[in-house]
Amino acid sequence: MIKLIATDVDGTLVKDGSSEIYPEFIEKIKELREQDIIVCIASGRQSTSVERMFDEIKDDLIFIASNGAHVKCRGVDIHVAEMNWEYVKGLTHELRETPGCNIIWEGPGVTYIEPGNDESFIKLLTEGYRNHVEEVEDILTAGKKIIKISAFNRPSIRDLGEGKIIPEWKDKVKATMAGEDWIDCMDKSVDKGAALGFIQRIFDISPEETMVFGDNNNDIGMLDVAKHSYAVASAPDVVKEHANNICPSWAEKGVYQVLKDFDFQ
């Protein structure tokens, strides 16, 4: 019997950078909550962004935000994993020196940017992801709590991520690709799977009672803690290897299809 469902957002539930959730999914979540099934939204996005996406039902959900660095329910922070400040400084200096790299720093529910970003990037943050964004002159002197540092570039930042940042920093921080455009760096303890495991322990729910949907490297941890694990068809092979099932892509509303057809009784 399924007692807990967790789904990634970008690339799994909707197109990367989308700000809207289709109504069929919202209605299905309402049905699942009436059956006392716990539903988690697990995203690399900040909590404010995902709460805005699910505003109609946000009090019925648990949010695993910032890849697991921030867990929140009904406006209450359940878990916050702050980054080591020396690592924040080191990553910041390195990314500032990288050409063509847009950088954001996240606190719980807020995205910090420094001056100089182009308008299209700011528009993506505020209108695409619907982040709460604050500009600071210098993040290293602003006195902010940082739970995630991300670098962005289109059409791809994979060469920088897999070729430099991830291998250089893997022993100090949790560094992962989040889609083709983003590199995410968090405290070493942070992982969507660790956050989902924390929720499983709180509610005494087993992997056999857990269903998970994901599409990218930052979803592997939570796919590994669920028997009913689904990678979307568009996921890389390395992600599919960690899933027990494959479902249609976000474009075909694959997550909704599985939830609609699954027997939860």
Together in a domain, 65 and 103: no
Q: Which range of residues forms the domain containing residue 136?
A: 85-187
Please say if the pLDDT value at position 265 is more than 80. no
Distances (CA, A) of 103 to 21, 89, 98, 116, 140: 26, 13, 10, 10, 13
Query: In this structure, how many other beta carbons lie within 10 angstroms of the beta carbon of residue 73?
Result: 17
Nearest CA to 211 out of 78, 53, 35 is that of 35
Together in a domain, 178 and 205: no
End-of-domain residue from the set 157, 187, 217: 187
Q: What is the mean pLDDT of the chain?
A: 95
Together in a domain, 195 and 220: yes
End-of-domain residue from the set 140, 162, 187: 187
**Residue 165 gets which letter from DSSP?**
I
Interacting residues of 262 by C-beta distance below 8 A, sequence separation 6+: 2, 211
Together in a domain, 169 and 195: no
Together in a domain, 168 and 199: no
**What's the CATH code of the domain at 72?**
3.40.50.1000
Together in a domain, 91 and 170: yes
Q: How many Å apart are CA 227 and CA 224, to the nearest integer?
A: 8
Nearest CA to 12 out of 257, 208, 261, 263 is that of 257
Q: How many domains does the chain have?
A: 2
- Residue-wise pLDDT for 9-47, tens only, equals 999 999 988 888 999 999 999 999 999 999 999 998 999
End-of-domain residue from the set 148, 166, 187: 187
Together in a domain, 10 and 139: no
- Residue-wise pLDDT for 218-238, tens only, equals 999 999 999 999 999 999 999
